[in-house]
């Protein structure tokens, strides 16, 4: 499915009818992500003041940098951990910040190495799979920062289109990374991107699962996960603003996004693909009239 959609986009993406479809779908996707971010915020951040600070900081950083900074997620988890359930050595006055200061340095080194394209794709998507926390939507700001801002593999419109395509198919995360990989380097790029994204997930699940089952209810672990989750949701919220700048371009797209939010708010079980298909039909009807 990734290959078929990627081929169709590359082959027909310049045609007016394809532009019309993504004109409507792009706006609807912003509405879908916005309502998802609201639900996640309400459920996970709640009334905790510290989590709200982390949430707002990550949202602001994502908007300003238009990317997701992986080490901030880890830092958020550590802050909440130290605040709620500080380890004994910290209570005794000891502090070793070496590990925290090394994370951005290592990330910077990896991102500046001149890898061959496929290796570079694999490294980037493996980093996305390893450092992105939260729901599937949390990967969007990270991918935008790397794919568009850092590596310039895609432009803004192509990235929003990739997210839009993923929203109308099963498995939106694998579809997003596979679609992007295909646009960058064809079938091989799609395979490498998908493998790179999900390999860390399997490794981090299989290896630590027995230990997490044993120690997962400890206050320190719960605090760390809460901090990371708040940071991820903040990044998702910031990504809504970043992506909206590219997709909400006129009054009809504003209305489409608002209608999407209203429908998902009113009808809790309304399938998102139905909304996306409806938005595509609206785009097909409205785009030629507005751009004739």
The tally of domains found in the chain comes to 1
Angle of the 16-40 helix axis to the 251-266 helix axis, nearest 10: 40
Nearest alpha-carbon partner for 247 in 172, 156, 169: 156
Dihedral angle, C-alpha 184, 188, 193, 194, nearest 10 °: 140
Q: Look at residue 101 and tell me if it is in a domain.
A: no
Q: Look at residue 220 and tell me if it is in a domain.
A: yes
Q: Look at residue 100 and tell me if it is in a domain.
A: no
Q: Look at residue 259 and tell me if it is in a domain.
A: yes
Q: What is the pLDDT of residue 173?
A: 73
pLDDT band at 131 (very low <50, low <70, confident <90, very high): low
Q: What is the pLDDT of residue 3?
A: 53
Q: Look at residue 76 and tell me if it is in a domain.
A: yes
Burial class (CB in 10 A: 0-12, 13-18, 19+), 48: middle
- Whether the per-residue pLDDT at 290 is higher than 80: the answer is no
Please compute the mean of the pLDDT values over residues 44-70 and round it to a whole number.
86
Model confidence pLDDT, tens digit, residues 190-210: 888 888 888 877 777 777 667
pLDDT band at 106 (very low <50, low <70, confident <90, very high): very low
Q: Report the alpha-carbon distance of residue 149 to residue 152 in Å, rounded.
A: 6
Model confidence pLDDT, tens digit, residues 148-193: 878 888 887 777 777 766 666 666 677 778 888 888 888 888 888 8
CB 21 within 8 A of CB 283: yes
Q: What is the pLDDT of residue 212?
A: 66
Domain residues for 272?
2-89+112-290
Q: What is the pLDDT of residue 258?
A: 93
Model confidence pLDDT, tens digit, residues 219-235: 888 888 888 888 888 88
Q: Look at the pTM and tell me if it is higher than 0.85.
A: no
Lowest mean pLDDT among 3-7, 209-213, 240-244: 3-7
Model confidence pLDDT, tens digit, residues 259-281: 999 999 998 888 888 888 888 88
Q: What is the pLDDT of residue 8?
A: 55
Q: Buried (b) or exposed (e) across 109-139, using 16+ Cβ within 10 A?
A: eeeeeeeeebebbbbbbbbbbbbbbbbebbb
- C-beta atoms surrounding 207 within 10 Å: 10
Say which residue, 63 or 93, is predicted with more confidence.
63
Q: What is the pLDDT of residue 89?
A: 67
- Whether the per-residue pLDDT at 80 is higher than 50: the answer is yes
Q: Look at residue 66 and tell me if it is in a domain.
A: yes
Q: Look at residue 107 and tell me if it is in a domain.
A: no
CA end-to-end span of the chain, whole Å? Answer: 33
Say which residue, 18 or 237, is predicted with more confidence.
237
- ∠ Cα 170 175 177 (to 5°): 155
Q: Look at residue 95 and tell me if it is in a domain.
A: no
């Amino acid at each position: 499915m990734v290959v078929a959609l990627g081929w169709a986009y590359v082959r027909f993406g310049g045609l007016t009818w394809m532009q019309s479809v993504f004109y409507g779908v792009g706006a609807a996707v912003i509405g879908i992500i916005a309502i998802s971010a609201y639900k996640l915020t309400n459920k996970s951040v709640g009334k905790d003041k510290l989590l709200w600070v982390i949430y707002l900081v990550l949202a602001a950083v994502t908007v300003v940098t238009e990317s997701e900074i992986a080490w901030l997620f880890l830092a958020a988890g550590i802050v909440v951990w130290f605040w709620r359930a500080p380890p004994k050595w910290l209570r005794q006055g000891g502090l070793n910040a070496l590990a925290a200061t090394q994370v951005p340095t290592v990330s910077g080194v990896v991102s500046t190495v001149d890898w061959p394209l496929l290796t570079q794709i694999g490294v980037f998507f493996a980093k996305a799979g390893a450092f992105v926390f939260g729901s599937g939507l949390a990967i969007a700001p990270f991918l935008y920062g790397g794919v568009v801002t850092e590596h310039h593999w895609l432009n803004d419109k192509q990235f929003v289109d990739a997210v839009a395509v993923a929203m109308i198919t099963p498995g939106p995360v694998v579809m997003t990374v596979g679609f992007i990989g295909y646009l960058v380097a064809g079938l091989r790029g799609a395979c490498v991107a998908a493998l790179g994204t999900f390999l860390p997930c399997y490794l981090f699940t299989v290896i630590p699962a027995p230990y997490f089952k044993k120690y997962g209810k400890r206050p320190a672990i719960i605090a760390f996960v809460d901090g990371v989750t708040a940071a991820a949701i903040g990044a998702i919220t910031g990504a809504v603003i970043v992506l909206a700048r590219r997709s909400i371009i006129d009054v009809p797209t504003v209305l489409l996004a608002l209608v999407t939010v209203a429908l998902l708010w009113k009808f809790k079980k309304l399938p998102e693909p139905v909304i996306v298909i409806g938005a595509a039909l609206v785009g097909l009807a409205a785009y030629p009239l507005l751009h004739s």
